[in-house]
């Protein structure tokens, strides 16, 4: 949902309901010198978007909500499922050199590290790789499991988590990406990643949509 641009007629309807509500559809139509059928689509839009509410045998009344309120309500209910990106996963025995190559070839900022059973055991960021590079260690022989962030110090989420909660995790943990996982009998399987870029994509998508 974006900051909704209402038509002039819809704005007039809102003003009528604000000043005269609760008011029936017939009452609104009479004030605008239009038929009830003509107003039906406008009333449906205003009701579905949350500007108006309707009660049987009572009529329409103004909810008092602005576009920003409605957008905030929608964001609070959204889950990350549908906005998750494909994760880039590497084995814990990969060399730091190969991990650096992977970061640039895949154009990502975070790699998720798994063991031989494909369970999540670590997270590797560009900062981790930069620190290892500055340390002038033998990057071709140094395995990533030496420098990665290990379990249980990994911030994770699941695909049915609320977007707002995952965004708070990104901020509080000061990280760029979170692994999206499934709990298994032996650990956690990485099924996706959610990043600050994903949040930006959600906001852009909402801004380009009418409800």
Choose between 73 and 55: higher pLDDT.
55
Residue 210 has pLDDT above 60, yes or no: no
d(CA 85, CA 191): 9
Domains of the chain: 8-76 (1.10.10.10), 89-204 (3.10.580.10)
- How many Å is the Cα radius of gyration of the chain? 25
What letters, b where the CB count within 10 A reaches 16 and e where it falls short, cover 192-203? Answer: bbbbeebbeebe
Contact status, residue 194 vs residue 31, Cβ threshold 8 Å: no
Residue 100 has pLDDT above 90, yes or no: yes
d(CA 206, CA 2): 5
What phi-psi label fits residue 104: left (phi over 0), alpha (psi between -120 and 50 degrees) or beta?
alpha
How confident is the model at residue 58, as a pLDDT? 83
How confident is the model at residue 68, as a pLDDT? 59
The 10s digit of each residue's pLDDT in 126-185 is 999 998 888 767 899 999 999 999 998 999 999 999 998 999 999 999 999 999 999 999
Q: What global pTM score does this model have?
A: 0.67
Contact status, residue 96 vs residue 143, Cβ threshold 8 Å: yes
pLDDT confidence bin for 211, thresholds 50/70/90: very low
Query: What Å distances lie between residue 55 and 23, 31, 37, 47, CA to CA?
Result: 10, 20, 18, 11
How confident is the model at residue 73, as a pLDDT? 67
How confident is the model at residue 76, as a pLDDT? 78
How confident is the model at residue 90, as a pLDDT? 97
How confident is the model at residue 205, as a pLDDT? 76
The 10s digit of each residue's pLDDT in 15-64 is 999 888 889 999 999 999 999 889 988 888 888 777 888 888 788 888 87
Choose between 56 and 89: higher pLDDT.
89
Bridge partners for 60 per DSSP: 23, 54
Query: Pairing between strand 149-150 and 120-125?
Result: antiparallel
């Amino acid at each position: 949902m974006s900051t909704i641009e209402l038509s002039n007629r819809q704005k007039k309807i809102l003003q009528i309901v604000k000043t005269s509500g609760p008011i029936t559809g017939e009452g609104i139509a009479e004030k605008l010198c239009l038929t009830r059928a003509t107003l039906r689509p406008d009333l449906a839009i205003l009701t579905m978007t949350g500007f108006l509410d309707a009660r049987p045998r009572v009529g329409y009344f103004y909810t008092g909500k602005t576009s920003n309120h409605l957008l905030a309500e929608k964001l609070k209910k959204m889950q990350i499922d549908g906005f998750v990106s494909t994760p880039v996963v590497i084995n814990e025995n990969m060399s730091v050199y190969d991990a650096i190559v992977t970061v640039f070839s895949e154009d990502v900022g975070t790699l998720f590290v798994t063991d031989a059973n494909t369970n999540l055991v670590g997270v590797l960021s560009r900062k981790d790789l930069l620190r290892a590079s500055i340390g002038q260690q033998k990057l071709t022989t140094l395995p990533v499991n030496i420098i990665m962030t290990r379990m249980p110090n990994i911030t994770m989420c699941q695909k049915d988590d609320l977007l707002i909660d995952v965004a708070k995790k990104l901020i509080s943990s000061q990280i760029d990406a979170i692994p999206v996982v499934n709990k298994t009998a032996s650990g956690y399987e990485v099924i996706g990643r959610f990043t600050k870029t994903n949040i930006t994509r959600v906001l852009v998508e909402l801004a380009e949509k009418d409800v």
